[in-house]
Amino acid sequence: MATISDVARLAGVSPSTVSRVLNQPEAVIEAKRDRVLTAIAELDYRPSSAARNLRRGSFDTLALLVGDIAQPFHGALAKAVQRAADEQGYSVLLCDLDHSRERLVALLHSLPKRGVDGIIIATADNMNVPPVQAALGELLTQGVAAICGSQSIRSLNVPALLTDRVAVARDATAHLLEQRRWPIVFLGGGPSTALTREARKGYEKACRAAGRESAELLVADGDYRAEAAELSIAELLRAGVRPQGIVADNTPMALGAARALASHGLAVPSDVGIVSCEDVPLGEYMQPSLSSIRTDMDDYGRRLVDVLVTAIAGGEVPARTLIPHKLVVRGSSS
């Protein structure tokens, strides 16, 4: 493992000159610069990140915290983030929260000394609770930048980049309403999560715009998981409800709902239309292919990284950025 001194010796210059060639090339006269670069190539020298990190106090590393990396949406997000980070010269530390709040708090506590410049938090789990806010606040004071995907954090200066979840659910619902499907069930993640509350608001908005009464609305709790969604919809069906449309807040719930419908002999899309508020890579290949609200993941990943990198550099960043979305109509609703 060649060090900077080895390069310096071979090039006949001092270590600081080598360092300059790497960090401010224009400050070194061309002849010497070339000698140094040759020596670097010769020895296949690459600076030790450890030494560099210690000296500079930065790490060229971002942490990506996701609720559950095994979920297809998060996988797609991780891919986009990793690629964008790579383009900016950053590595990505993957942290799976497994939907555990304890784990989130523990991570927020341990990350500052794990060597990351910034973190991206992408979980649907509610972060507006005291322990999380406290841990996040402390992380910020330690000089680690943070941004949030999918939710805003109250009372803390953490930029958020997210889709307008009210609009997303509204568009999904409106699409089914246009087809004169009724009743329509909103399948969310339970009343406690702030995220579902927004989506539910969008659902209600669309229904009211179509002239429906509050009493007619149907809300089911699928806990963001396929299993729970299946049970929840099955229960509804057993109770005699006959929905013609389902708006699922994420894809696993849409699949769970589809299975419940199938076991009750209901066909998609002829009997019931389904739309997911979240697009996933294989959605097109599910059967029937899944109508969903799509956001451009490459763009999303790039924006997340851009904002975070700007924040790390101490630049000004918008407190809240809305990511565009659009409806993709597929077989489950047509």
Partner DNA sequence: TTGTACGCGTTATCAT
Partner DNA sequence: ATGATAACGCGTACAA
Burial class (CB in 10 A: 0-12, 13-18, 19+), 119: buried
Identify the residue among 34, 41, 42, 51 touching DNA (CB under 7 A).
51
Question: DSSP assignment, residue 179?
Answer: T
Q: Which is nearer to a second copy, 151 or 332 (CB)?
A: 332
The answer for 305, left when phi > 0, alpha when psi is -120 to 50, beta otherwise, is: alpha
Instruction: Answer yes or no whether residue 115 interacts with a second copy by CB under 8 A.
Output: yes
Determine the interface stretch with a second copy among 3-11, 194-202, 280-288, 319-327 (rule: CB under 8 A).
280-288
What is the Cα–Cα distance from 239 to 284, expressed in whole angstroms? 32
What is the Cα–Cα distance from 289 to 280, expressed in whole angstroms? 11
What is the Cα–Cα distance from 137 to 129, expressed in whole angstroms? 12
Determine the interface stretch with DNA among 7-15, 89-97, 136-144, 258-266 (rule: CB under 7 A).
7-15
Q: Which is nearer to a second copy, 206 or 309 (CB)?
A: 309
Of 264, 19, 292, 273, which is closest to residue 168 (Cα–Cα)?
292
CB of 283 to a second copy, least distance (A): 10
Instruction: Answer yes or no whether residue 74 interacts with a second copy by CB under 8 A.
Output: yes
Neighbours of 47 (CB within 10 A): 16
Question: DSSP assignment, residue 233?
Answer: H
Of 180, 187, 159, 207, which is closest to residue 306 (Cα–Cα)?
159
Instruction: Answer yes or no whether residue 72 interacts with a second copy by CB under 8 A.
Output: yes
What are the CA-CA distances from residue 279 to residues 6, 51, 116, 188 (Å)? 52, 42, 30, 15
Identify the residue among 9, 15, 321, 331 touching DNA (CB under 7 A).
15
Instruction: Answer yes or no whether residue 289 interacts with a second copy by CB under 8 A.
Output: yes
Strand partners for 94 = 64
Q: Which does 180 bind (CB under 5 to 8 A by kind): DNA, a second copy, none?
A: none
Instruction: Answer yes or no whether residue 128 interacts with DNA by CB under 7 A.
Output: no
Q: Which does 110 bind (CB under 5 to 8 A by kind): a second copy, DNA, none?
A: a second copy
Instruction: Answer yes or no whether residue 54 interacts with a second copy by CB under 8 A.
Output: yes
Identify the residue among 189, 256, 269, 273 touching a second copy (CB under 8 A).
256
Q: Report yes or no: 309 and 90 within 8 Å, Cβ to Cβ.
A: yes
Note the residues at the interface with a second copy (CB under 8 A): 1, 46-51, 53-54, 57, 59, 61, 64, 68-72, 74-76, 78-79, 82-83, 91-96, 98, 110, 112-115, 142-143, 226, 230, 252, 255-256, 258-259, 262, 281-282, 284-289
Note the residues at the interface with DNA (CB under 7 A): 1, 3-5, 12-17, 19-20, 22-23, 27-29, 31-33, 45, 47-48, 50-52, 54-57
